[in-house]
Structure 1
Amino acid sequence: MKRSPGARLCAATAIGALSLSLLTACSDEGSKDASDAKGTASATASAAASDAKALPKAEVEKLLLAQGEVKGYKVGSGDDTLPASKSAVKTDKEACAPLAYAMSGLAPGETESGASNTLTEDNASAAATKAPGDISESDLENAFKVNLTFVGLSSYEGDGAQKAFKAVSDGVAACSGGFGVTAQGQKQKITKVAPDEAAKSGDESVAFSVDSDVDGEGSATFHTRVVRKGNTVASFYTVDFASLTSTGKSSAVPAAVVDAQLAKIK
């Protein structure tokens, strides 16, 4: 982690005492229609959620972006950077655990159907094609301009995806003052959590940033986006090493990665 109108408009023109009765009748009818429509939509959504079935883990893995499916990025397994399970990630506040999971490519809700990988912006550095003696300082700087995004997908039974998304959304406010987290044995202090602005996507989406203490010598800011599409929840956590070095702030989650990943989720 060292390593973001149903309301219906009625118009009535009338004279004298008739105007009030017409306006009242129109208002009552519109409210009834809106209420009926809202109730029907809610019932339909609830029925759809209750019928949802989680995809097997192997099928979730197939939904992850593969090499060549998003231009300008290299796809990696994430095996050497991402926690293998939730047991490797602990927080000192229960409400903040879903945030930590989302930042680690893990399922923020209760499910065994989850998978993750990484996407690295393909930065072809001149340093890789030159002899050691010909590499300039500029070449070295460009070589470290790496934008890495951890992607996690998880699939849920019934309304599990809605609950998982809500846990993240609620956690942004509940954990605004920060929290402690231990990931793969490394302790980290998140000093602040704040909502981020991001384009709406999927059925529900939320973005947030976290400020993380850097060995007591300042802080670094990282961005995360979490999107629910049907009964699948996708999380994206980005680390921009070049920006962190110069400004202490990581870039926003790349829209190209989010869009490409969501397009694979039916």
Structure 2
Amino acid sequence: MRRALFRRTAVAVASVASLTLLVGACGADKPADTPAKGGGKAASDAPAKGGDPAGSAGSSAKALTAAELEKVALAEGDVTTHMIAPGKKADEVPAGSIKVDKPECTPLADAMVGVAVGKPGASVLRKAIEKPAKMKVDPKASDEEKFKAGMGALTQPVTVERLASYDGTGAQEAFAALDKAGKACAGGFGGQQGGDKVNIAKVTPDAVTGGDEAAGWTFDMKGQGPDEMDVVMKLAAVRKGGTVATFYTFSLGGTVKAQPVPVIGAQLKKLG
């Protein structure tokens, strides 16, 4: 995960993790176990995958502008279990910069590095980091205990969301490309950016619901050497009308155990 293919996500960790340390320094000590605003389940008020494939989007759908997307994108305070930060220029990866050994897997690789699938009219980036169960460090703790607490915060799951809006049937086509890639790439794929490589050993379906269409996957990535651990990551895609949101979740601790349900649910609520 620390290779060039995921450098943008590493920037996300550094940027959002700084928020964690800031909040911790301010003494916040309430457990992060309350549900997201509007409910904690992504599909509490929306049809599951397999619902109306057209949704509210059609051939006449018009993409939202970047300014309009900013209004419906997640903001700090929207998800009580996570801290939210807007993407920065340094987080952006140019489309086409990720090369995969199986062309059919390109949509998955793009989504993993926060690149919008297809050709959206506009898109925005958000980063969310799951809050530790208890963020306050005892001021009387030893330096070693404070160090361990800080390192623990840095291993909290980080989600990189790409919110993209499309003209016409572009949103349906983008979602269909991801869904097709998830099935075609079950056996895994290799990727490369510059001289660095990554090996996704397998891609397995994950249960994700909400919006007009939804899908999710778990990625098992093999370390490229004896000093690199195996990594388990998550990817989810949800379409609501002419907008598609992808959520790529990883952890410097190595394993992500669940999809970011509160984040997905909060985003769907803001999309209406």
Once the two structures are overlaid, the 10-residue window that deviates more, 226-235 or 56-65, is 56-65
Structure 1 residue 141: Cα displacement:
5.4
AA matched with 2:94: S
Matching residue of 1:223: 234
Matching residue of 1:235: 246
| Structure 1 position 188 matched with structure 2 position 194 | no
What is the rounded CA distance, in whole Å, between the counterparts of 1:137 and 1:111 in structure 2?
43
Structure 1 residue 62: Cα displacement:
2.7
| Structure 1 position 254 matched with structure 2 position 260 | yes
Out of 94, 98, 102, the residue aligned to residue 107 of structure 2 is 98
Structure 1 residues 48 and 167: CA distance shift in structure 2, 3 A: closer
Structure 1 residue 155: Cα displacement:
0.7
AA matched with 1:223: K
What is the rounded CA distance, in whole Å, between the counterparts of 2:150 and 2:123 in structure 1?
37
Structure 1 residues 62 and 46: CA distance shift in structure 2, 3 A: closer
Structure 1 residues 47 and 173: CA distance shift in structure 2, 3 A: closer
AA matched with 2:212: D
Structure 1 residues 143 and 128: CA distance shift in structure 2, 3 A: farther
What is the rounded CA distance, in whole Å, between the counterparts of 1:234 and 1:220 in structure 2?
23
Structure 1 residue 137: Cα displacement:
7.0
AA matched with 2:247: F
AA matched with 1:111: P
Out of 89, 92, 108, the residue aligned to residue 83 of structure 1 is 92
In 2, are the aligned partners of 1:152 and 1:236 still within 8 Å (CA)? yes
Higher helix proportion (structure 1 or 2): 1
Matched residue of 1:69: which SS?
coil
Percent identity over the alignment is 35
Matching residue of 2:71: 62
| Structure 1 position 165 matched with structure 2 position 178 | no
Structure 1 residues 48 and 129: CA distance shift in structure 2, 3 A: same
Q: Give a deviation string over 1:208-236, Cα, whole Å, max 9, x none.
A: 11111212345221111101110100111
Structure 1 residues 52 and 77: CA distance shift in structure 2, 3 A: same
What is the rounded CA distance, in whole Å, between the counterparts of 1:47 and 1:241 in structure 2?
38
Matching residue of 2:188: 178
AA matched with 1:159: T
Matching residue of 2:81: 72
Structure 1 residues 143 and 111: CA distance shift in structure 2, 3 A: closer
Matching residue of 1:108: 117
Aligned residue pairs, count: 221
Out of 100, 116, 129, the residue aligned to residue 120 of structure 1 is 129
Structure 1 residues 175 and 134: CA distance shift in structure 2, 3 A: closer
Unaligned runs of 5+ in 2: 10-51
Matches within 5 A, 1:47-58: 49-58=58-67
AA matched with 2:220: D
In 2, are the aligned partners of 1:101 and 1:107 still within 8 Å (CA)? yes
TM-score when scaled to structure 2? 0.71
Matching residue of 2:34: none
Unaligned runs of 5+ in 1: 4-41
In 2, are the aligned partners of 1:115 and 1:153 still within 8 Å (CA)? yes
What is the rounded CA distance, in whole Å, between the counterparts of 1:234 and 1:207 in structure 2?
12
AA matched with 1:146: Q
What is the rounded CA distance, in whole Å, between the counterparts of 2:56 and 2:80 in structure 1?
38
What is the rounded CA distance, in whole Å, between the counterparts of 1:93 and 1:184 in structure 2?
17
RMSD: 2.9
